[in-house]
Chains A and B, each alone.
Chain A
Amino acid sequence: MDPLLIFIQGLNGLQLGVMLFLMAAGLTLVFGVMNLINLAHGSLYMMGAYLAATVQQRTGSFLLAVLLAIPLTTMLGMLVEVTALRRLYKRDHLDQVLATFALILFFNELVRIVWGPQAYFMAVPELFSGYFSILPGVSYPIFRLVIIGVGLAVALLLYLIVSRTRLGMLIRAGATNREMVGALGVNIQLLYTVVFGLGAALAGLAGIMAGPILSVEVGMGESIIILTFVVIVIGGIGSIRGALIASMLVGLADTFGRVLLPPALASMVIYVLMAGVLCWRPQGLFPAYG
């Protein structure tokens, strides 16, 4: 294979990986800290995309779309946590899967009612349109490079939050001993809502960035949520670092699988990867807690 093609596909894989990371970070925190399986995490991604598409269409500004859609998705996530998900923490995983699957149906229907069944296409923002020539004769869409950059910056920021701040310490402490964190004066319920809001913000951001490269449509959340679950299982549930590494692995494996293998095999690559990792390390690459 042409080394240039490998390089370009590598960037594509990285870009997919970064999107997966934005999704996986929130999902793995919610799973690791609150022990909640939230299938509807993809719905927040979809809502982020729709909200951004709407703002961009009305105002013509991508920046404004980002600035409005992220806080709106965050608030939506917190609202869902307070009204619905909070009741599920003590339930078993099957109940959680059923209830959050219902949320997916709810959000898909809501989107059909509000936005109609047709797909939306977001324009690539003016500033980031066009191509950047990485090497002489090799150019790559600037917007995709921006996605990679934003994703890596968010990864660094999240790492700092979880490892260096009081919020991060409480997140880690709460994941192992919720009762003691409460007995030492921390409002765990509020902490959970904040963590959920943080996850929603990242999912919204991923949705917004996906807008200009994929189509904004009902069901877009489901196609990414499956990959996201694969990522957090490979990375080790609850681990941000694991989510980052696994996102990149899955992004690259999926992209190269599609280039190198016949379609029937290509769609299996990441599952084979997951099975392989789990045989080797049943808790995932970086088991975060106990």
Chain B
Amino acid sequence: MLEVREIQTFYGGSQILFGMNFAVHAGEMVSLLGRNGMGKTTTVRSIMGLTPARAGAVYLDGIDITRAPPFRIAQSGVSLAPEDRQVFPTLTVRENLVATAARNHHGAAHDAWTIDRVMELFPILRHRQNHLGSQLSGGEQQMVAIGRALMTNPRLLILDEATEGLAPLVRREIWRCLNCLKESGLSILIIDKSVEVLMRIADRHYIVEKGRVVWSGGSHELAAHPEVLREYLGV
């Protein structure tokens, strides 16, 4: 589904990615692990076309999207719940969900995401429908960010630090929902610091160090190599 091949990305003159390489197959949940500042968010920005790679290529179902504008990449079925959530502060919860909603995924109409389905997934949001984005707690904002991404009916959902800075209970709630999404067959690329949870629910992992992948493998392999975790993640 998604293939990132040898991409090099820069912010102005400083190079951040030095040949990132990985793939997400249909129906998989794949994680990018790595310490702070290793280039995970930059990788996501390059996939979305927000900071396009200068070398290498990003393919979506075999089509080169490396230099496509972000809105085209989104329309072809990739959706992002970004780091820092970036909920629209002057829109209500409901407006945040519907403003950019779309039927990008050409699947059957009955399994399309609607406001109601998002509210079923995150029941708290039902009571917050008319609150402004700026009035929400961090957890609620995260739910809106995920719901907003789902409302574009993506084939690939990208989650960047979806549980960062949230209370344990809220975290558990988010993980429960992400597990549901995975079970529904959605392809997911996830970045998160909670390695133990990821080892339980994600299929494969890539460890990123200084802008390139230094280790990759399935959850069992990762569990079998605690020294990898110690060396690259410090856990």
> A residues engaging B (CB < 8 A)?
166, 169-170, 172-173, 175-177, 179-188, 288-290
Chain B residues with CB below 8 A from A182, complex form: 50, 69-71, 74
**Distance between B92 CB and nearest chain A CB, rounded to angstroms:** 9
Return the chain B residue nearest A183 by Cβ.
Answer: B70
Contact A172 B104 (CB under 8 A): no
Contact A185 B104 (CB under 8 A): yes
Contact B100 A185 (CB under 8 A): yes
Chain A residues with CB below 8 A from B88, complex form: 172-173, 176-177, 180
Chain B residues with CB below 8 A from A288, complex form: 90
Contact B100 A186 (CB under 8 A): yes
Chain B residues with CB below 8 A from A177, complex form: 86, 88
Q: How far is the CA of A172 from the CA of B98 in the complex (A)?
A: 13
* Segment from B75-83, B107-115, B135-143 that makes contact with A: B75-83
Return the chain A residue nearest B88 by Cβ.
Answer: A173
**Distance between A163 CB and nearest chain B CB, rounded to angstroms:** 9
Choose among B75, B91, B102 the residue that contacts A172 (Cβ–Cβ < 8 A). Answer: B91
Chain B residues with CB below 8 A from A175, complex form: 90
Contact A183 B82 (CB under 8 A): yes
Q: What is the predominant secondary structure among interface residues of chain A facing chain B?
A: helix
* Chain B residues touching A, range: 20 to 34
Q: How far is the CA of A289 from the CA of B90 in the complex (A)?
A: 7
Q: How far is the CA of A185 from the CA of B79 in the complex (A)?
A: 8
How many residue pairs between the two chains, A and B, have CB atoms under 8 Å in the bound complex? 70
Q: How far is the CA of A169 from the CA of B48 in the complex (A)?
A: 22
Choose among A180, A186, A289 the residue that contacts B86 (Cβ–Cβ < 8 A). Answer: A180
Q: How far is the CA of A185 from the CA of B86 in the complex (A)?
A: 15
Contact A184 B79 (CB under 8 A): yes
Knowing A173-B88, A176-B88, say if A185 contacts B50 (CB, 8 Å): no
The A-contacting residues of B in range 59-98, CB under 8 angstroms, are 69-71, 74-75, 79-80, 82, 86, 88-91, 95-96, 98
> B residues engaging A (CB < 8 A)?
48, 50, 69-71, 74-75, 79-80, 82, 86, 88-91, 95-96, 98-100, 102, 104, 148-149, 152
Return the chain A residue nearest B94 by Cβ.
Answer: A169
**Distance between A162 CB and nearest chain B CB, rounded to angstroms:** 11
Contact B90 A176 (CB under 8 A): yes
Contact A181 B100 (CB under 8 A): yes
Contact B82 A173 (CB under 8 A): no
Most chain A CB atoms below 10 A, which of B48, B74, B80, B152: B74
Contact A183 B99 (CB under 8 A): no
Contact B71 A166 (CB under 8 A): no
Chain A residues with CB below 8 A from B95, complex form: 169, 172-173
Chain B residues with CB below 8 A from A169, complex form: 91, 95, 98-99
**Distance between B143 CB and nearest chain A CB, rounded to angstroms:** 16
Return the chain A residue nearest B100 by Cβ.
Answer: A184
**Distance between B148 CB and nearest chain A CB, rounded to angstroms:** 7
Contact B71 A188 (CB under 8 A): yes
Q: How far is the CA of A175 from the CA of B133 in the complex (A)?
A: 14
Chain A residues with CB below 8 A from B82, complex form: 180, 183
Q: How far is the CA of A183 from the CA of B65 in the complex (A)?
A: 13
Known: A179-B70, A187-B69. 6 other contacts (CB 8 A): A173-B90, A180-B86, A182-B74, A185-B75, A288-B90, A290-B90
Most chain B CB atoms below 10 A, which of A170, A173, A188, A290: A173
Q: How far is the CA of A169 from the CA of B41 in the complex (A)?
A: 27
Knowing A169-B91, A289-B90, say if A184 contacts B148 (CB, 8 Å): yes
Knowing A177-B86, A180-B82, say if A185 contacts B102 (CB, 8 Å): yes
Contact A183 B75 (CB under 8 A): no
Chain B residues with CB below 8 A from A172, complex form: 88, 90-91, 95
For the complex of A and B, the 6 pairs showing the least CB-CB separation, nearest first, are A185-B74, A184-B100, A169-B99, A173-B88, A182-B70, A183-B70
**Distance between A171 CB and nearest chain B CB, rounded to angstroms:** 10
Chain A residues with CB below 8 A from B91, complex form: 169, 172-173
Chain B residues with CB below 8 A from A188, complex form: 71
Contact A184 B152 (CB under 8 A): yes
Instruction: Name 18 A/B residue pairs within 8 A (Cβ), A-sorted.
Output: A169-B98, A173-B90, A177-B88, A179-B50, A179-B70, A180-B86, A182-B70, A182-B74, A183-B50, A184-B148, A184-B149, A184-B152, A185-B74, A185-B75, A185-B102, A185-B152, A186-B100, A187-B69
Chain A residues with CB below 8 A from B50, complex form: 179, 182-183
Most chain B CB atoms below 10 A, which of A169, A175, A188: A169
Contact B90 A185 (CB under 8 A): no
